[in-house]
Structures are given as C-alpha cells and as structure tokens.
Amino acid sequence: MKRFGNRCFLTGSTNVSFEHVISFATGHGGHIVANLLPMDKALNLSRQDKNFGEWFNTLEATIEMHDAFDEAFEYLAELNGLTVDLFWEYVYYCDAYRRTEEEIKADPRPSVEIFKEWKEAGGVI
C-alpha cells in the first residue's frame, strides 16, 4: 500500500482492497507482495477471476491508467525476479496450467519458482 500511496494503482481512489494479479482460481499466486496491488474495490469486483491483462483491455482506460498499469507490471516483474515479458508469460502460464489443492499440497513452492523451472525446461505458452 505504501508503494502506491495507499491508493488504487490505476485510479488513485482511496476506496481500495488488495487485488490478486494472479487469481486464486488458478491455484497460483497467493497472498504475497509480488502478487498484490491496491485497487479500487469496484474495479476489483469487476475483474472476478479473469486474466489480469485481458480484463484491463476491456476497460475504457485513460493514457494515465495505461501508464500506471505498465508501471505496476514493471514493479511486480521485478519483485518476482522476471523481466516484464517473462512476467506476462508467467501470468498466462498460471491461467493455462491451473493447479488443484492436491497439486499445491504436493508441491507448495511459490508458483514463480515452478514457472521458472518450467521455462528452463523449454516450456512455451
């Protein structure tokens, strides 16, 4: 919250909740700083469990919102130890390769570690 001035990273609203960039429905991401952004509560509700980038593209976003979105993704990519392009691939990987509760229990490593291992093995979305 401090990083974004206790405001929505897109709109500047103070009526915020934490947005999980990689939705819980994928079985990836989780409650970690590298997966959370403060977002206006109404926007957060509108997203549901849609892919974050695809959801954003449905908004009538201003140039300022596009800039804020890009800045937030640079920030999250850095926190996850990825380039922005690899972070985008990670987001799509999580949607494409959803995990069940059993899979999470069997391999509780952070999803980004699993993604990096998958990438090193030649994985392609």
pLDDT for res 49: 87
| 3-class secondary structure, 30 | coil
Task: Say if CB 22 and CB 80 are below 8 A apart.
Answer: no
pLDDT for res 90: 97
Tens digit of each residue's pLDDT, the chain (125 residues) = 999 999 999 999 999 999 999 998 999 988 999 999 999 999 999 998 899 999 999 999 999 999 999 999 999 999 999 999 999 999 999 999 999 999 999 999 999 999 999 999 999 88
**What predicted TM-score, i.e. pTM, was given to this entire model?**
0.91
Phi, psi for residue 37 in degrees, rounded to 5: -135, 140
Angstrom distance (rounded) from CA 65 to CA 94: 24
Burial label for 80, CB within 10 Å (0-12, 13-18, 19+), is buried
Burial label for 37, CB within 10 Å (0-12, 13-18, 19+), is buried
